[in-house]
Structures are given as C-alpha cells and as structure tokens.
Chain A
Amino acid sequence: MEFIGQTFLNGLMTSSFYALIAVGLSLVFGVMHIVNFAHGEFYMIGAYTVWILFAVLHWPFFLAVLAAIVIVGLLGMLAERFIFRKAHGNVLSGFIMSVGLVFILQVSVVKLWGVGKMKPVPAAFPQILELGGISVSLQRFIVIPAAIILLSALWIFLAQTKMGRALRASALDPDAAALQGISPEKSASVAMLLGSGMAGAAGAFMAPIMSVHPYMGHSVVWTAFVVVIVGGAGNIKGTILASLLFGFLTTIITTLFDSTIANMVNTLVMLALLAVRPQGVAGHAEH
C-alpha cells in the first residue's frame, strides 16, 4: 500500500512538472506556430537563476523563483522580438531559429559559469512530510501546489482578461484576430513572456530536485514535446491532461522497469494516440 501511495505521489509530482514545462511550450506554439526547441534552455536558465540567487546569494527561495519567472519571461520576449518575429507562422524557420538559440544560450551559460560539475542547489524546505505512511520532502511536494497555482493563474488570465482572450483568438485564427484589431506581434510577445516564464518557473522549482547544468534542458524538452503533441498543440486543457497521462506513465514504468523503457513507451503511446486522434487528446477533429 505504501508502495502504491509513494508511486502515486511520485506520479503527481512528475505530472505537475510536465504541466509546468509543457503548457508554456503549447501556448507559444498555439499563438506563434513556432516549434521552440529553446524552451528547454529557458527551463535551464530558470534553474540557474535559482542557483545564483538562492544557493549562492542566499535570497529567499520564493523570491528567487519569482525572479526566475520574470527574467526568463523577459528573455522569451526578447527572443520573440529579435529572433522569432520574422518567422511567425513559418514552422521550419522558427524551428531552425530555435535550434540556433539553444546553442547561443548553452554556450553563454558555459562561458559565464563553466561546465564542470553540477551546480549544487540545497533544498529550501528540507522538512519531510508524512502522509499516511508515505514520506516526501516538502521541497518536492511544493511543485504540486505551485503548478496548480501557476496553471490556474494562467487559466484565469486566458479566460477572464481582454489580453488573454486576444491571445486565444490569435491562437484560433490569427487573420480573423488581426481583423478585429488584435496585434499579432503583441500577442506573440505576451505568449512568449508567459510561455517562457512558465519554463523559468519549472526550472526554478526543479533546481533543488534535479541536476543543474548547462545541458539539463535537453532531457526535458523531448518529453515536453511529446506532451504537447498528445495534448494538442496550442490546447492548454489537452496539455494538462497529457501531462497527467505521461507523468503517471513515466513514473510507473520507471518504477517497474527503468527510465529508458519509460521514454520508449512514452514515444510509442504518442505515436499510437496520433494515429487514432491526430488532433490530440482534447482537440476537436477538423471537418
């Protein structure tokens, strides 16, 4: 029973992490139609921000997280303005530009802080939570409420604010949105701010839990893409559902077998779901 409970909690934590990283990617794709491979590097910069501000300069953890969200969000806006803007709607150009950005960001971090050993980020909350015989560190547990809060805030923004509705309109039909006076450039800029900020948040919360190094984005960006593809590119609800699906799938298979098999199964599930529902788990088929 403890084993099942522990596995459930592990799955919930992994799903929350996947949701944080994938929702931002999905939002950017939905609005800008750009396959942003540099999303993993935004995640990495979020983790580095926490390493510097929290582990080295001893800022309060949540302040460091907030700084990571703002810094990475602004970095995303700059990337949109100076790199991706010319590639709006052109998936191939955007993809190639994002690969270039991956190298620029990785090399910049290597030049600034070296590569060497991983950057040690201590737990801000090392306390252990006992939940009915299941133990989990508070540091790890807070990823779950953090994901719920951030995703809810994003949901409210998209559903309740004028700017959020404009973003959704741009994602649904950019031409019609433009005719309604919604600036595609402004929508793209806000989408990158929010999407990159979410990646920064994911990196910030995972920094004390995972290894912080310049190449850490590689390992998560593939999973994020699998989640986004299955959830339906640009579909936030579908992305959250897919995060839950793959979070639990990865956890259960890694527990029973190993992470290599988990990655393989994730990809097979993605291919199988695409064959059955190419529009994603929560998308609507085009007629």
Chain B
Amino acid sequence: MRGKSVRILLVMVVLSFMVSFAPWASAKESKVVKIGFNAPLSGPAAAWGLPGMEGVSIWVDKVNSSGGIEVGDETYKVEIVKWDNEGIGSKALLGARKLVLEDKVEAMLMLGGAPSAVVQPFLTKHKIMTFVLVSSDIAPDRPYLLDVTDNFPTYHLLHAQYIAKAHPEKKRVAIISQDDEIGLSAIAWSEAGFKAEGIEVVYSKPFGLETTDFAPIVTAALAKKPDIISTGAAYPEFQALIFEQAYSQGWKGIVTSACWDFKAIAAKVPDGWMDGAVSGFPDFDDPKLSKEHNEFWKLWKKKYPTHSFSEIVWEYKAALDVWAYGVKKAKSVKSTDVYTALKSSDTVPHAFGTGIWWGKEVYGMDNLLVPTWPITEVVNGKPKIVGYGSLIDWVKNPKNVAILNESLKKWHMNVAN
C-alpha cells in the first residue's frame, strides 16, 4: 500500500515538472484589463449610448485578436463590462459601484451630463479615470474626468461661426433643447456662438423632459420668425419630433444641432428636408477623412449593415484609442498611471488629428482634448465635410470670451474665472 502511494507521488512530481518546462508554460500569459461602459442603453438618451457599443465591440475584437495591448513585458486583453444607466443618475451610480468594486474596472466610458454629477464623487474617490462625451462635465473637483473625443458643447460656437459665414442672410435663431444639464449646456454655448456672430437669438427656452407633444413648443418658437433652428443637444427622439413639427408647421430654413439620428429623423420628415443642416460629425466614409476612418467605416458597415451611423458609433471607441495611447506611454493599465501619462503629454492623438489639452479658462481644468473640428452640411441626406473650425482660435478673441462668459453665467454654467 505504501509502495503504491510513493509511486503515485513520483508520477505527480514528474508530471508537474513536465508541465513546468513545457513550451507553453514559458509563453507570455495574457492578463485582462476591464473597462466599464456605463451609458444609457435605453430611454430617451439611448441613441447616445447604444450605438457606442458597436464601435467599442469592433475595437475590442481588433485589439484582442491581435493578441491584446502590450504593456511592458505583459500583454493585456481588454474586456468591456457594460451597464445600462438609462441616463439616470441613481442607476449610473449603482453601475459605477458595481463596475469599480466588483468588476475592478480601470477606466470608465460614460456619456456624461446629469449622471456625472451623481457618479463623479464616487469615481474621484476611487481615482477611476472617466471618459465622457460632454466637456461641460469637466470641473476641478472631478480631476479624473476627461473628454477626449466629443467636444460638446464647444463646437456649437463653430457651427454658428460657419452659418454666419456661409449664410449671411440668416439673422434670427431659435434654440430648442431639453431642460437638463446637457440641454442647458447646449443652449448656453449656442447662444454665445450666435451672439458672437451678430445673429439675434429670438427664442431660447428649455423644454421639460416629460414633453411628449412638441407642437405647442414649435409653434411658440416659430412665432418669433427664426431663420435658423438649433436643437442644441435635444435627445434624438425629441429632435425628430421637433423637426417633424417645424416641417409640418411650414417652416423652412437652416437647422443645426450637436448631432443627428438620421434614421429617427427620416421617419418624420421627407427626403431632402434636412439638406443644408449644419453639424460637426461626418460619416466615416467621407473622402476628406483619413484611411483609418474609412477602414473603420467598412468594418462597421460589414458588421452592422442595417444600422444608422452616428458619431456615437465611434466616439466611445475613440476614447479607447486615447486610453490605449496612455497605457502604452505609462507602461501600466493602472488608472492613475494612465491619467498621469496622458495629462503630461502636450499633445495627444485625437480622432480628428492632433489634440491639445484645454478647458482651464472655462471649466477650471485642462481636461478637454481639442483638435481642429470638422464642420458638416447635409447633402442628399448625408453629412459632408465643408470646412474646419478651431475652438482655440475662437477663444483668442476677447470679445468672444466675454460673450461666452456672459451666456454661461446666464444659464448657471460653471465659469472658472
């Protein structure tokens, strides 16, 4: 009996040696780094979250199929842990706690807006770097919150600048957006942009989130005889209903907005009604964009042939590009290391070219990555690049800055100085 036990022990020792010295044992083992995706995947803001998972999934497939991200001697596979916060602060906080405490994520992707105010104290305490799409979320008490892709709401200034130049006869604007942090930011920045160009703001009133019928609101706005309607950052489902009303009440003019959900709008207005609409997000098959953009477009189109393209498709993914740049520079996946590496770089690659850190003048922190931003006009139902605008140049004019500060104060936005 004793002899049998000794033989079994010997076999086990030999096997363990074999396993230890086997070729695969010396191979570099991939670790996993987790990133949280805490965004609205349902509710009125779903169009600003749901399509983001498409770009993120393409990015993750590409990175992981090529072995992962090399961090010094180690390789990390990336895992995205998603959470539907429905655009509600309490649900976003619940998600943040789960993602950080249970899933141990090293960074968080979020839309921003009202949920940020609820989530940020928790994420700041745990030093979790958060990438949002709303730059007006940036504040000195949220040091780890960065906007590295979408420059909302700053590009409203550039849209107004473009409209004033391209359509000098348009002199009156109505701004219609919802009464929440995102909507009010859009109203404040849009007002500043139009005022700086000498365009009269004839209507700028936020509407309640519970609004279901936009006929009375559009009637009130159209009574002021606007040449331009800006829907600021109206949630896509609201935007489609606003445009439907503007169309059905017989209004014609230039529309502008932070972004569009063409599928939702196309169901409400006839073909061609959106032509001439001004925004800042081209489709990625635009010939004026880079080969990388066009490649991404092909991959996305192949994977989601029936879906509608919007900037949300690539923005969360572009934040992952910036995060990966920081990881490589930091040689670490730790949130604070990546943050330090990114912030210590004078320039960081942005989806639209070289980006520089900005924001201290308005937000109190240089946590917004600003590139030269494209301006698009809708032609045959498709946004095309018609020019570029520079926020950095816009704020060089002291008169502009004074108008901006006045508008931000009027709408109770944070003004650093």
- Chain A residues within 8 Å of B, Cβ to Cβ: 3, 6-7, 10, 13-14, 55, 114-118, 120-123, 126, 128, 130, 135-137, 139-140, 209-211, 213, 216, 219-220, 250-252, 254-256, 258-260, 263
Contact = CB atoms under 8 A, between A and B. Distances in A.
Nearest to A128: B248
Contact of A128 (B179, B216, B250): B250
B210 interface: yes
Nearest to A261: B208
B263 A255 contact: no
Contacts of B179: 258, 260
A259 B244 CA distance: 18
A263 B211 CA distance: 10
Contacts of B261: 117
B66 interface: no
Nearest to A256: B220
Nearest to B86: A115
Given A3-B223, A126-B270, A140-B248, A211 B237 contact: yes
7 contacts: A6-B222, A6-B249, A114-B42, A120-B263, A136-B249, A251-B215, A263-B208
Given A118-B237, A120-B267, A122-B268, A140 B212 contact: no
Given A10-B216, A117-B46, A137-B248, 6 more contacts: A3-B223, A6-B249, A10-B215, A209-B213, A209-B241, A263-B210
Interface string B229-252: 000000011001100100111100
B35 interface: no
Contacts of A55: 267
Contacts of B42: 114-116
Contact of B248 (A7, A135, A258): A135
Identify the interface centre among B43, B47, B217, B249: most chain A CB within 10 Å of its CB. B249
A219 B264 contact: no
Interface in B291-342: none
B264 A255 contact: no
Contacts of B77: none
B219 A10 contact: yes
A193 to B, nearest CB: 27
A259 B264 CA distance: 23
Contacts of A3: 219, 223
Contacts of B244: 123, 137, 209
Question: Which residue, of B46, B217, B237, B248, has the highest number of chain A Cβ atoms within 10 A?
Answer: B248
A19 to B, nearest CB: 15
A213 B50 CA distance: 15
B207 interface: yes
A29 to B, nearest CB: 23
B264 A14 contact: no
Contacts of A14: 213, 215
A118 B210 contact: no
B385 interface: no
A117 B264 contact: yes
B272 to A, nearest CB: 13
A259 B219 contact: no
Nearest to B47: A117
A126 B261 CA distance: 19
A263 B210 CA distance: 9
A162 to B, nearest CB: 39
9 cross-chain pairs, A with B, having the tightest CB-CB distances, nearest first: A135-B250, A137-B248, A115-B42, A120-B267, A260-B208, A254-B216, A255-B216, A122-B267, A259-B211
B32 to A, nearest CB: 28
Nearest to A115: B42
Nearest to B220: A255
A7 B219 contact: yes
Interface string B186-225: 0000000000000000000111101111011101101100
Contacts of A117: 46-47, 50, 236-237, 261, 264
A6 B268 contact: no
Contacts of B208: 258-260, 263
Contacts of B236: 117
Interface string B385-416: 00000000000000000000000000000000
A210 B241 contact: yes
Given A6-B249, A115-B46, A135-B248, A258 B241 contact: no
Contacts of A122: 267-268
A254 B237 contact: no
Given A118-B237, A121-B267, A254-B217, A210 B212 contact: yes
A213 B268 CA distance: 16
Given A10-B215, A137-B248, A140-B215, A219 B50 contact: no
B237 A259 contact: no
Interface string B249-282: 1100000000001011011101000000000000
Contacts of B222: 6
Among A3, A55, A220, max chain B CB count under 10 A is at A3
B173 interface: no
Contacts of A211: 44, 212, 237, 241
Contacts of A135: 248-250
B158 to A, nearest CB: 27
A219 B217 contact: no
A211 B213 CA distance: 9
A258 B249 contact: no
Interface in B32-62: 41-44, 46-47, 50
Nearest to A139: B248
Given A116-B41, A118-B264, A255 B248 contact: no
Nearest to B248: A137
Nearest to A211: B237
A99 B243 CA distance: 35
A135 B267 CA distance: 19
A255 B244 CA distance: 17
Nearest to B264: A120
Nearest to A251: B216
